């Protein structure tokens, strides 16, 4: 997997095991602080309105356009140990991505990817409403800080495709496979239980866009490579069918036979 940042070295390990010794990026610490504060606000009556206005909702089409930018920085979910675990995952992946990209590219990736994914999800949700089949929990699959986790994991999988990650801290998996695992998880834990079609396609859009932005040539080149690969496979399949149909075989040239003795 090619990268637009080949001159920079990869991580020594993964997450807290990187062992680089350098202080954590201040931008990432600020993101974690905002996510934690907005997460805490939802449990107090006086402040619960603030995160609800910042999350991505169908109301964005009625003028709440800031939600297209603000929603990834809002902590979401219930009060449990899983939220703290998600913050650790956000930090682990975000640290290596930030150090590889630098501040400008890091924030460019977050803004472009999250806003584009939100637009895709909102459009699909509108189409479902017009079709008379609205989702009961739109955008839950991509809501809040989970979109940042999706972007950071996809970025890590693109930049460090050959690195090994312990899935569930047990199963070693090449980082590049997490591009597909993210989509699988969104399908199993978002689309199936909540029928969140809009959120699922928002996740798909964020993974594809993250990969394409960090790969050589950008989205256009990625689509071109995928199209060429699809065309190659189609041609190979056609040639295979032609070989089986004609059933070509060649006789031993040392035998004294006429040219007509080829097997058809």
Give the confidence band of 168 by pLDDT, cuts at 50, 70, 90: low
Asked if residue 227 and residue 211 are part of one domain, the reply reads no
Q: Are 213 and 219 in contact (CB under 8 A)?
A: yes
Long-range contacts of 238-243 (CB under 8 A, 24+ apart): none
Percent of the chain at pLDDT > 70 equals 77
Statement: residue 63 has pLDDT above 80:
yes
Closest of 35, 32, 1 to residue 161, by C-alpha: 1
In a shared domain, residues 195 and 243? no
Do residue 170 and residue 228 come from a single domain?
A: no
Q: Are residues 149 and 242 located together in one domain of the fold?
A: no
Look at residue 87 in the predicted model and tell me its pLDDT.
Answer: 94
Distances (CA, A) of 62 to 40, 55, 67: 27, 14, 11
* Span 122-150, pLDDT tens digits: 999 999 999 988 888 899 999 999 999 99
> What confidence category does residue 215 fall into, taking pLDDT thresholds of 50, 70 and 90?
confident
- Please tell me which residue, 1 or 240, carries the higher pLDDT value: 240
pLDDT tier at 227, thresholds 50, 70, 90: low
Are residues 81 and 51 part of one domain? yes
User: 8 lies in a domain?
Assistant: no
Within-domain flag for 181? yes
- Number of domains making up the chain: 2
Per-residue pLDDT, averaged over 169-197, amounts to 88
Query: Are 110 and 205 found together in one domain?
Result: yes
- Could you give the CA distance from residue 191 to residue 55 in angstroms, rounded to a whole number? 19
Higher pLDDT, 7 or 85: 85
Q: Above pLDDT 90, what percent of the chain?
A: 59
Q: Which domain holds residue 175?
A: 15-215
31 and 143 co-located in one domain: yes
User: pLDDT confidence of 70, banded at 50, 70, 90?
Assistant: very high
Answer yes or no: is pLDDT of 157 > 50: yes
Judgement on whether residues 183 and 57 belong to the same structural domain of the protein: yes
- The least confident of 43-52, 99-108, 252-261 is 252-261
Specify whether 19 is located in the same domain as 104. yes
Instruction: Examine the pLDDT at 264 and tell me if it is beyond 50.
Output: no
What number is the average pLDDT over the span 188-198?
92
The angle formed by the CA atoms of residues 160, 166 and 170, to the nearest 5 degrees, is: 170
75: region left, alpha or beta (phi > 0 left; psi from -120 to 50 alpha): beta
Q: Is the pLDDT assigned to residue 251 strictly greater than 90?
A: no
Reply yes or no on whether the pLDDT at 1 is more than 80.
no
CATH number for 94: 1.20.1540.10
3-state SS, residue 173: strand
166, 16 contact by CB (below 8 A): no
Q: What is the mean pLDDT of residues 95-104?
A: 94
Could you tell me if residue 41 is inside a domain? yes
Number of H helices, E strands in the chain: 10, 2
Q: What is the pTM of this model?
A: 0.75
Question: Among 148, 213, 224, which residue's Cα sits nearest to residue 182?
Answer: 148
Phi-psi category of residue 247: left, alpha or beta, with phi > 0 → left and psi -120 to 50 → alpha: left
């Amino acid at each position: 997997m090619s990268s637009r940042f080949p001159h920079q070295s990869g991580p020594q390990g993964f997450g807290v095991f990187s062992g680089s010794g350098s202080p954590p990026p201040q931008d990432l610490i600020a993101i974690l602080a905002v996510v934690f504060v907005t997460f805490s606000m939802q449990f107090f009556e006086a402040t619960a309105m603030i995160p609800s206005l910042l999350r991505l909702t169908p109301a964005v089409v009625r003028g709440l356009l800031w939600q297209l930018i603000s929603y990834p920085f809002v902590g979401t979910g219930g009060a449990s140990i899983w939220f703290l675990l998600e913050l650790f995952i956000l930090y682990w992946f975000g640290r290596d991505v930030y150090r590889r990209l630098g501040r400008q590219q890091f924030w460019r990736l977050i803004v472009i990817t999250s806003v584009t994914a939100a637009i895709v999800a909102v459009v699909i949700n509108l189409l479902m409403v017009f079709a008379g089949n609205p989702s009961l929990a739109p955008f839950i699959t991509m809501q809040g800080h989970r979109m940042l986790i999706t972007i950071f994991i996809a970025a890590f999988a693109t930049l460090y495709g050959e690195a090994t990650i312990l899935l569930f801290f047990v199963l070693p998996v090449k980082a590049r496979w997490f591009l597909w695992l993210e989509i699988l998880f969104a399908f199993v834990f978002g689309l199936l239980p909540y029928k969140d079609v809009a959120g699922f396609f928002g996740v798909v859009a964020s993974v594809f866009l993250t990969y394409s932005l960090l790969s050589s040539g950008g989205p256009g080149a990625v689509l071109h490579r995928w199209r060429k690969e699809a065309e190659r496979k189609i041609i190979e399949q056609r040639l295979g069918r032609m070989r089986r149909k004609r059933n070509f075989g060649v006789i031993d040239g040392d035998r004294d036979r006429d040219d007509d003795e080829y097997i058809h």
